[in-house]
A and B are shown apart, each in its own frame.
Chain A
């Protein structure tokens, strides 16, 4: 079956849509700013309310939303190829559940607004995510090689354990903590400041740099570990790189935005249904697509019920889910084979 949409076209459309989406998102909110005024405000540094809202409230948040979306989608795409399973995502190697457990523990034991303030919670979440991935990796490792199936099962087992831990913490915590844990798990970017963005870049950038150039190697890996080796891919090194890159990228994303995972599953899948599986196009396209989806979800989360906020995790699922279903129904026959 020839797919109707060429890779290049979709990638270029996504790329062109990104700056437009960034501007639109920057203009929307409780204090609306007209789209055409944004460049002028930023360029001429017109001091005033608009400049301050734009520079100190909107821009850091929009920037972080795009980065988080990119990180989730890119690592989702890489892990799907590695596990040769279109339903894999960063949850499978334990990073999300580990981060979630650590964040819940932090809230329950130290309190959401402890002395360490704003920084304690994201740092704990990031460390928890990374530690869990390391555990999964070490346990799945057998005499130099890491069989993909074992890695998958170890991840599932640790996810269950982390889930039990979170349940226990929820059981032990009081009303206030319970509310904080629940909201953390639903995700959100409210209160993003520039320092938080710079801090999030520390793990995100190396993670993205590790994952982004892997297109051709991931294509070979999608055929099978043995086939990839036969095609001259150093499989063990590639696996390490994917796991490390995903752990850094998703760890950073989850630390900054809380429990959001749906983006990583659905964006690569959408691209595959539209165009095909060639990872050389899939990786850059999902990176941009993930940024768009998460930016859209975050913008909706802060504008739909303003001045209050909807948790963004609800919105990513609400926006991505039906679109995903529609694509599946449209391509039912292909999807059955995929």
Chain B
């Protein structure tokens, strides 16, 4: 569905993204990982059509991204950007309804649009916030309202830039589950994620970027190895197993990491003694 060939983007003489190719099939959930400044967000913006690449090209459903009208493109792909702030007192419901803009005419919203916006708020778990002012919500709540807007857009392709920012542990899982279900229903998703364990749990394919290059590409099993993680993040890790069987990345202490605190260890030991 989404095909990028030899993508490159530079600012001045510095290549932020250099020679990256990827081919996202319908039904696939991709995660882009990498250290800060590795070019993840830039790559996502190239895939969304927001930036024009200096080399290579992007195709969506066999048509070059440049050939799409913005509105036609917005009916196929939706983006969740990193951090949003609205300076005007829109309600959460009004923000979710904005996801319907690519499908609407100039003025009136059809009952169908209202129905979909309400459904999207419920899907994102924020139906109870619908009449609240969007700017007065907490960071995590705003994030979920933004997700509702993205859902209301009914895209085939979801592009998410660190979608789990500000979310608590449970809502992170819920959001990833929603994206995963979206891909199982024939859509596809590309998400920039910092949490490698969430990536390992949900992604079909992981692309690790290092200095704008593709450092590793494949299934979580193939990509999440101590060698790749050392190369990309300069971090020592061991790979354990999640109860579900997927890889579980555990960073190992460096020389600077504080030692595990003995009193806590004793406390834990005491609790275990009491239980047995």
Contacts and interface: CB of A to CB of B under 8 A. Distances in A.
Interface of A: 1-3, 80-81, 84-86, 213, 215-217, 219-220, 222-224, 226-227, 229-234, 272-273, 276-278, 280, 334, 337-338
A231 B101 contact: yes
B174 interface: no
Interface stretch (B24-32, B74-82, B119-127, B258-266): B74-82
B71 A232 contact: yes
Contacts of A220: 98, 101
A216 B106 contact: yes
Interface residues of B, number: 37
Interface stretch (B12-20, B131-139, B236-244, B245-253): B131-139
Contacts of A273: 89
Nearest to B153: A231
Interface of B: 45, 48-50, 69-75, 77-79, 81, 84, 86-91, 94-95, 98-99, 101-102, 104, 106-107, 131-133, 135-136, 153
B87 A230 contact: no
Contacts of B84: 223-224, 227
A148 B77 CA distance: 25
Contact of A229 (B50, B94, B107): B50
A233 B91 contact: no
B99 A280 contact: no
B50 A230 contact: yes
B122 to A, nearest CB: 18
- Find the residue from A3, A85, A213, A337 having the highest chain B CB count within 10 A: A337
B89 A277 contact: yes
Given A231-B102, A232-B73, A223 B133 contact: no
A2 B106 contact: no
25 contacts: A3-B89, A81-B88, A84-B87, A84-B88, A86-B87, A86-B88, A213-B106, A216-B104, A219-B90, A220-B101, A224-B81, A224-B84, A226-B79, A230-B48, A231-B153, A232-B75, A232-B102, A233-B70, A272-B88, A276-B90, A276-B91, A276-B94, A278-B94, A337-B135, A338-B87
Contacts of A215: 106-107
Nearest to A272: B89
Nearest to B135: A337
Contacts of A227: 79, 81, 84
> What 9 A-B pairs come out closest when comparing CB atoms?
A232-B74, A232-B71, A277-B88, A232-B102, A230-B79, A337-B135, A2-B131, A231-B101, A277-B90
B98 A334 contact: no
Nearest to B137: A337
Contacts of A1: 131-133, 136
A3 B45 CA distance: 36
B142 to A, nearest CB: 11
Given A230-B50, A231-B101, 18 more contacts: A1-B136, A213-B106, A215-B107, A219-B90, A220-B98, A222-B88, A226-B79, A229-B50, A230-B78, A231-B74, A231-B102, A232-B71, A232-B102, A233-B71, A272-B88, A277-B88, A334-B136, A338-B87
A184 to B, nearest CB: 34
A85 B87 contact: yes
Contacts of B81: 224, 226-227, 230
A216 B74 contact: no
Contacts of B91: 276
A227 B80 CA distance: 8
A223 to B, nearest CB: 6
A272 B88 CA distance: 8
Contacts of A230: 48, 50, 74, 77-79, 81
A232 B70 contact: yes
A224 B106 CA distance: 19
Contacts of B88: 80-81, 84, 86, 222, 272, 277, 338
B107 A337 contact: no
A43 to B, nearest CB: 35
Contacts of B99: 231
Nearest to B103: A232
A86 B135 CA distance: 13
B107 A280 contact: yes
Contacts of B106: 213, 215-216
B170 to A, nearest CB: 26
A219 B89 contact: no
B124 to A, nearest CB: 16
A186 B106 CA distance: 38
A216 B107 contact: yes
Contacts of A3: 89
A277 B98 CA distance: 12
B136 A277 contact: no
Contacts of B72: 232
A337 to B, nearest CB: 4
Contacts of A86: 87-88
Contacts of B74: 230-232
Contacts of A231: 74, 98-99, 101-102, 153
B101 A233 contact: yes
A232 B154 CA distance: 13
